[in-house]
Structure 1
Amino acid sequence: MSKVKYPKYKPSKTLWQEQIPSHWQETELRMLFADNKHKNIELVERNLLSLSYGKLKRKDIDNATGLVPASFEGYQIIDEGYIVLRFTDLQNDKKSLRVGYANEKGIITNAYIGLSPKAYIHSKYYYYQLHFLDKIKYFYNLGGGVRQSLAYKEFGRETVLIPDMKEQIRIANYLDYKIAMAERFIRKKRQILSLYVERRKSLTRKLVNSETVKFLRLSSIAPPIQRPINRNDNVLYTPVGLYNRGRGLFHKEPTLGSELGDSNFYYIKKDDVILSGQFAWEGSVALVGVDDENCIASHRYPVLNCNTDIIIPEYLFSFFTISDGHFFLDYHSKGAAGRNRPLNPRTIIKEKIPVPDIKLQAKLIELIEQENELKSLINNEITLVEEYKTALIAEAVTGKIDVRDFEIPEIVEEESYEELEEELSIVADGETKYESDENPNY
Structure 2
Amino acid sequence: MLRIITQQADVRAELQRICDRTHDEQVHHKEATVREVLQAVKRQGDKAVLHYTAEFDHQTLNLGELRVSGFELDTAYQQVSKDLLEAIRLASRQIEAFHRQRVPKSWVHFGDDDVVLGKRYTPVDRAGLYVPGGRVAYPSTVLMNAIPARVANVPRVVMVTPPGAHKAINPAVLVAAQEAGVQEIYRVGGAQAIAALAYGTETIPKVNVITGSGNIYVNLAKKLVYGTVGIDSLAGSSEVLIIADETANPVHVAADLLAQAEHDPMAAAILLTTDTSLAKNVQVAVERQLIDHPRRIDTEKAIAHYGLIVVVESLEAAAQFSNEFAPEHLELEVEDPWALIQHIRHAGAIFLGHSTPEAVGYYLAGPNHTLPTSGAAHYASALGVETFLKHSSIIQYSETALQKVAGAIDALATAEGLPSHADSVRRRVQQDE
Question: If the length of structure 2 is used for normalisation, what is the TM-score?
Answer: 0.26
Structure having the higher helix fraction is 2
